[in-house]
Amino acid sequence: MKFGREATVNAIMKVVERKRKKNVRVAVTGLLRRPACNEEYERLRKEVNKDLHEKVLAMKAESIRKLEVGSSFLDTDDLIQAGCFLDDGVHLSQEGETKLSQRFICWIRATHLLMEGRMD
């Protein structure tokens, strides 16, 4: 099954919204770069990530106004490079998983500190 730009963004944002309603902090990484893919995938990936980033920022601004649990967009373009994938070009290698996990840990710590500040 092939999804277009709008369908992909809408599907991801539905998941984010369902989690937010359950008071769960959400980190959206967008679509990861895949070295084995063609130029069309890369173009679509960038467009989808741009749309996701804009929607998550709007959602975050609303959450801040309401002092609710928010969502964040974690840009991984500078982090996940070709050497971070297995030979299939789709799945992350140990190095890729480690880098992505470290980015998530930083996000979790930062949002935890932010939430603690709101509790005081």
Q: Write the pLDDT tens digit of every residue in 61-103.
A: 776 666 555 666 666 777 777 788 888 777 888 888 888 888 8
pLDDT at 2 over 80: no
Query: How many angstroms separate the CA atoms of 66 and 79, rounded?
Result: 32
CA count, 13 A, side-chain hemisphere, 101: 8
Query: How many angstroms separate the CA atoms of 67 and 120, rounded?
Result: 13
pLDDT at 34 over 90: no
pLDDT tens digit sequence for 43-58: 998 999 999 988 888 8
Q: What is the pLDDT, as a whole number, of residue 66?
A: 62
Q: Note if the pTM is more than 0.85.
A: no
